[in-house]
């Protein structure tokens, strides 16, 4: 919820640990030696039509109904 404007909310792996990462200006965790497991676009274009300014509702819907956890688990298993 604290990422402003263009940015990504990510679950990543690096150094054998699971991390929640926020990146500004479309930065990538791979540039910092981490593996992206899941990406959520939190810039307004991602949710404005369906959610207007209700970013919290967009995040809730995304995390509760849209994430493919099997895909995330496969990414985690393959992370360095």
Model confidence pLDDT, tens digit, residues 32-53: 887 888 888 877 777 888 888 8
Q: What Cα–Cα distance (Å) separates residue 21 from each residue in 35, 37, 53?
A: 11, 11, 22
DSSP conformational letter for 3: -
pTM above the 0.85 mark? no
Distance (Å, rounded) from C-alpha 36 to C-alpha 61?
A: 20
How much is the pLDDT for 70? Answer: 92
Query: Which of the residue ranges 4-8, 23-27, 38-42, 59-63 would you say has the lowest mean pLDDT?
Result: 4-8
DSSP-assigned beta bridge partners for residue 51 = none
How much is the pLDDT for 56? Answer: 87
CB atoms within 10 A of CB 68: 9
């Amino acid at each position: 919820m604290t990422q402003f404007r263009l940015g990504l909310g990510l679950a990543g792996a690096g150094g054998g640990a699971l991390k929640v990462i926020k990146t500004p200006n479309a930065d990538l965790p791979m540039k910092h030696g981490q593996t992206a497991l899941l990406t959520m676009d939190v810039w307004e274009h991602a949710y404005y039509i369906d959610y207007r300014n209700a970013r919290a509702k967009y995040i809730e819907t995304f995390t509760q109904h849209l994430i493919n956890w099997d895909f995330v688990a496969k990414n985690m298993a393959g992370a360095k």
